[in-house]
Amino acid sequence: MRHVALIVPGDPETRTGGYIYDKRIVQGLRVLGWHVDVCGPSLATLSDGCIALVDGLALLTCGNLEPHAERLAIVLLVHLPLALEVGLDPAEAARRHEIEQRALTTARLVIATGRATADSLAERGVAHERIALIEPGTDRAPIARGSRRASVSLLCVAAMTPGKGHERLLRALSTVPSRDWTLTCVGSIDRDPAAFARVSAVAQQLQLSDRVTFAGELDEAQLADQYDRSDAFVLATIRETYGMVVAEAIARGLPVVSTSVGAVPEIVGAGGILVGLDDAGGLETALTRVIEDPAARQQLAAGARAARERLHTWDEASRSMATALTRMEKDDRLAR
């Protein structure tokens, strides 16, 4: 039985896109017959010959990988390059870039969870044969039944952090002529308390508090219920590696209004309206159309139902991971 140790920086039950990806891949590999341990940010205790699958965020605490490179098969899992996290000051971004660059040089194989990340790795000198693109899967889900109310129910799923664009979304919504909408924001409000305070203040300043609900972090069943009771999905995100929550919305046939980042355009297809990061007017126009035009919502929902058929599953993602790890072991070009 092949042995893999997934190195994570914190609690693997944390409900972020990266941790959910890690958890589902672990489950899938185990089903395929792999022995997988989930470990904290240390490689010293791993047995010789083990595959060490290192989540990129763990690099900030697990130290230099080079001393372990001869005895372990090190694989680096990159969700988003460390230096690209929104809100970093230049010195911290430079520090993270240097740490990650050393790890990229050491790793036998680099897993990218989004095409944009894979492209950026190639630009940083990682050879094509050392990069494997393994995008997240999406669970099959029933078509959302919607709110069945006169007021349009909007859903945003994202942790309250600077990179998810909540303030931008609220400002755009405040300019929509119609007042017949509500917004539920699902996602951690504790990960960045300062960001949540700013978003809450913006909601009050724009007099939206009566129509915007901050639901915090929900479990899977509660989140599924929110998707089912929504009429459209909105996310003004600044940066995405892939766009897992957008895929979850498409899987339920929900119209999407979002930004054209990461893999969102490929996920959404004709199921939504996407705008550029700097196009505040375009975001307002898109939201107005989805809120005020029922026929447009129906057309976009039809596009989403078509797009959902193209989403691949977590089983497929896990098989791709198993194939990449097996290839690494057999490919002499990837040996130390």
Query: pLDDT, tens digit, for every residue of 114-141?
Result: 998 999 999 999 999 999 999 999 999 9
What's the token pair of residue 97?
């870039």
How many whole angstroms separate alpha carbon 273 and alpha carbon 228?
A: 20
Q: What is the mean pLDDT of residues 326-335?
A: 70
Give the Cα separation of 75 and 79 in Å (integer): 13
At 280, list the tokens: 């505040």
pLDDT at 86: 83
Average pLDDT over residues 224-253: 96
Q: Are 115 and 78 in contact (CB under 8 A)?
A: no
Kindly report the CATH class assigned to 152-310: alpha beta
Which architecture characterizes domain 3-137+313-334 according to CATH?
Answer: 3-Layer(aba) Sandwich (3.40)
Q: In the chain, where does DSSP find H-type helix?
A: 17-31, 59-62, 90-106, 115-123, 166-174, 193-205, 220-228, 244-251, 264-268, 280-292, 294-307, 314-330
**Confidence tier at 222 by pLDDT (50, 70, 90):** very high
CA–CA distances in Å: residue 76 to residues 108, 221, 246, 318: 8, 32, 25, 16
| pTM summary value | 0.90
Give residue 149's identity as a one-letter amino acid code.
R
pLDDT beyond 90 at 168: yes
Residue-by-residue DSSP string for 226-286:
HHHT-SEEEE--S--SS-HHHHHHHHTT--EEEES-TTHHHHHTTSEEEE-TT-HHHHHHH
Residue 48, phi then psi, degrees to nearest 5: -60, 140
Instruction: Select from 253, 254, 275 the least CA-distant residue to 264.
Output: 275
Place of tokens 């904290």: 40
SS3 332: helix
Is residue 278 a contact partner of residue 97, using CB atoms and an 8 Å limit?
Answer: no
- Among the residue ranges 14-23, 32-41, 109-118, the one predicted with the least confidence is 14-23
Q: Say how many Å lie between the first and final Cα of the chain, rounded.
A: 22
* Whole-number Å distance between alpha carbons of 317 and 136: 6
What is the torsion angle, in degrees rounded to the nearest 10, for the CA atoms of residue 221, residue 224, residue 230 and residue 235? 120
Q: Do domains 3-137+313-334 and 152-310 have the same CATH topology?
A: yes
Contact 203, 227 (CB under 8 A): no
Domain boundaries, the chain: 3-137+313-334, 152-310
Compute the distance between CA of residue 186 and CA of residue 183 in angstroms, rounded to an integer: 10
pLDDT of the residue at 75: 96
Would you place residue 336 in the very low, low, confident or very high pLDDT band (cuts 50, 70, 90)? low
Neighbours of 165 (CB within 10 A): 26
pLDDT at 255: 98
Q: How far is the C-alpha of 291 from the C-alpha of 183, rounded, in Å?
A: 11
C-alpha–C-alpha distance, residues 209 and 56, integer Å: 37
